[in-house]
């Protein structure tokens, strides 16, 4: 099949920009409804709390998401809409770059198709609503693909290699997955005959080394904290023996989730395009070889890993980006592929229907009383709970000498920190006495000796009064009441206590804490 004639290129480019503008405006509307009807997800509030204490790494992730949250909070006054709008901007920028890659590799019509295929997925809808670590990673990954191709086209251009090095570096600071990007570059240079000279090009090696050098402060931070991020990451690969039936169910769940978030027919087209490309690899043009090598080998590895353990749907997300571009070229019938008009038609129909259903559901749910359904309980009630917690804090005898502590899941501390109007520093108690979140890495209540504590315990039962850890740490503890937010059949509930005069506190996971001179001096002064 021939490429799009030059006379039609401007038409397809105009269609893309008009489509992008329409989708952006529509998603702003959905975002505002979402902000009005749902609170921050637990991870979003957790990362926002990271942003208030910038560092070179955090418990489970590199620092970029924390830095971004800090900037967003400073620019928007810690407004919820700022976080949602940042997700929309990052998702839109990623889509523009995907379109640009396909345009550079193939033609305007293929680029339009690739962008539409991505748009018509549930995964893309989620990426534009929730701000997680995948948003900056995918932006860096797609920009890295574009810059590497442009650098390979003009291997003596220092500016392109420098830009690529920076993107690799920022991607590495976003998520550990970016460390796989240099391997992708080397594989393409080794396999593509036209590009093997890149292996002798010092600019490519310098770009790789300079980009990966961004990980050095992250490694230094981990060295000072007993490699806690590595220990956390290792748990993702823990597995246990299962019966054949449960193994089959888990494997089917892995495949089913991927098919759902990328829509079934489009997912089938992605797989079919990669299989066809691998079979015809010796006949592939250089652009097709590039997107095939950037997607198929890694996704095949994830498929094998899925036979061993449960796979989070977002893990292979970066490798699906070039897979969508490959699928668009396959659907368009670029040689040596054959034209498959039925695939394109049904992929767009099914994808469009599912995404339309998802967006209509969001509009209906968050603009009506349906937002009270139990399945959304985790995204509701935090704002009201935070306001009530603030009222309790305002009524204590010495608010300026009272800190807040939340028990239970790390999300409890993060959501209270965000939704209490004063945005206090919220501490967390970990009963296992091991580091389970960033809250155990930061200095704990040991830096507040002599202070009072407003303690929020999840649940309606006043159990803290019998907890020896707290009854011995404080001079006395008073039960002050409870916070109760009805959520349909569910209820968000906390018991509230005022603990007077913290006498002592054993730091959790003290063996991994780096000495904090300021905190230690403050403790001595209060003593």
Is residue 99, in this structure, part of any structural domain at all? no
pLDDT one-digit tens code per residue, 509-520: 654 444 344 333
CA 335 from centroid of its chain's CA atoms: 36
Residue 197 lies in a domain: no
**Mean pLDDT along residues 421-427:** 96
Choose from 31-35, 141-145, 302-306, 479-483 the range with maximum mean pLDDT.
141-145
pTM for the model:
0.90
Q: Is residue 164 in some structural domain?
A: no
Q: For the chain, what percent of residues have pLDDT higher than 70?
A: 88
Residue 86 in domain: no
The better pLDDT of the pair 111, 253 is held by 111
What confidence score (pLDDT) does residue 524 get? 35
Helices (H), ranges, 307-408: 317-332, 341-366, 382-394
Residue 195 domain flag: no
Of 347, 341, 331, the C-alpha closest to 263 is 347
Mean predicted lDDT score pLDDT of the chain: 88
Q: Into how many domains does the chain fold?
A: 1
The model's pLDDT over 404-415, given as tens digits with 9 standing for 90+, comes to 999 999 999 999
First to last CA, the chain: 79
Q: Which domain holds residue 521?
A: 381-526
- For residue 41, the model assigns a pLDDT of 92
CA distance 185 to 127: 26
Over the stretch 146-203, which tens digit does the pLDDT of each residue have? 999 999 999 999 999 999 999 999 999 999 999 999 999 999 999 999 999 999 999 9
Let me know if residue 306 belongs to a domain.
Answer: no
Asked if the model's pLDDT at residue 325 lies above 80, the reply is yes
Q: What sign results for the dihedral spanned by CA atoms 337, 271, 179, 132? A: positive
Per-residue model confidence as pLDDT tens digits over 89-137: 999 999 999 999 999 999 999 999 999 999 988 889 889 989 999 999 9
């Amino acid at each position: 099949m021939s490429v799009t004639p030059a006379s039609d290129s401007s038409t397809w480019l105009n269609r893309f920009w008009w489509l992008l503008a329409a989708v952006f405006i529509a998603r702003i509307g959905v975002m505002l409804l979402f902000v009005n009807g749902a609170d921050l997800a637990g991870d979003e509030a957790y990362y926002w709390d990271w942003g208030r204490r910038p560092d070179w790494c955090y418990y489970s992730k590199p620092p970029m998401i924390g830095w971004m949250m800090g900037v967003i909070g400073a620019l928007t006054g810690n407004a919820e809409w700022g976080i949602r709008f940042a997700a929309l901007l990052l998702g839109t920028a990623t889509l523009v770059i995907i379109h640009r890659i396909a345009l550079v590799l193939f033609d305007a019509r293929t680029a339009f198709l690739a962008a539409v295929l991505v748009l018509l997925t549930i995964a893309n809808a989620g990426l534009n609503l929730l701000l997680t670590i995948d948003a900056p990673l995918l932006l860096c990954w797609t920009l890295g693909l574009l810059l590497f191709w442009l650098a390979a086209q003009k291997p003596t251009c220092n500016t392109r290699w420098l830009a690529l090095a920076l993107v690799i570096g920022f991607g590495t600071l976003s998520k550990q997955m970016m460390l796989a990007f240099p391997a992708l570059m080397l594989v393409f240079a080794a396999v593509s005959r036209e590009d093997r000279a890149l292996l002798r090009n010092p600019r490519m090696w310098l770009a790789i080394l300079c980009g990966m050098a961004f990980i050095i402060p992250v490694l230094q931070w981990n060295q000072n904290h007993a490699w806690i991020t590595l220990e956390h990451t290792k748990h993702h690969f823990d597995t246990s023996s299962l019966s054949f039936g449960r193994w089959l169910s888990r494997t089917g769940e892995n495949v089913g989730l991927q098919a759902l978030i990328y829509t079934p027919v489009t997912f089938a087209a992605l797989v079919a395009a990669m299989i066809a490309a691998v079979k015809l690899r010796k006949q592939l043009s250089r652009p097709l070889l590039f997107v095939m090598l950037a997607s198929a080998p890694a996704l095949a590895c994830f498929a094998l890993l899925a036979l061993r353990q449960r796979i989070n749907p977002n893990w292979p997300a970066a490798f699906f980006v070039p897979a969508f571009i490959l699928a668009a070229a396959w659907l368009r019938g670029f040689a040596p592929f054959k034209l498959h008009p039925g695939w394109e038609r049904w992929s767009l129909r099914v994808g469009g229907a599912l995404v339309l259903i998802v967006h209509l559901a969001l509009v209906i749910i968050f603009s009506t009383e349906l937002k009270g359904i139990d399945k959304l309980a985790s995204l509701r009630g935090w704002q009201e709970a935070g306001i009530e917690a603030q009222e309790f804090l305002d009524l204590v005898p010495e608010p300026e000498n009272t800190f807040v502590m939340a028990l239970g899941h790390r999300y409890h501390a993060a959501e209270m920190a965000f939704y209490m109007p004063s945005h206090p520093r919220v501490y967390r108690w970990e009963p296992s006495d091991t580091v389970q979140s960033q809250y155990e890495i930061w200095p704990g209540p040991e830096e507040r000796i002599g202070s009072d504590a407003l303690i929020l315990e999840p649940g309606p039962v006043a159990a803290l009064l019998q907890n020896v850890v707290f009854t011995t740490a404080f001079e006395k503890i008073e039960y002050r009441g409870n916070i109760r937010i009805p959520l349909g059949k569910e209820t968000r509930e906390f018991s509230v206590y005022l603990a007077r005069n913290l006498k002592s506190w054993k730091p959790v996971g003290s063996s991994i804490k780096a000495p904090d001179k300021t905190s230690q001096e403050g403790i001595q002064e209060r003593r």
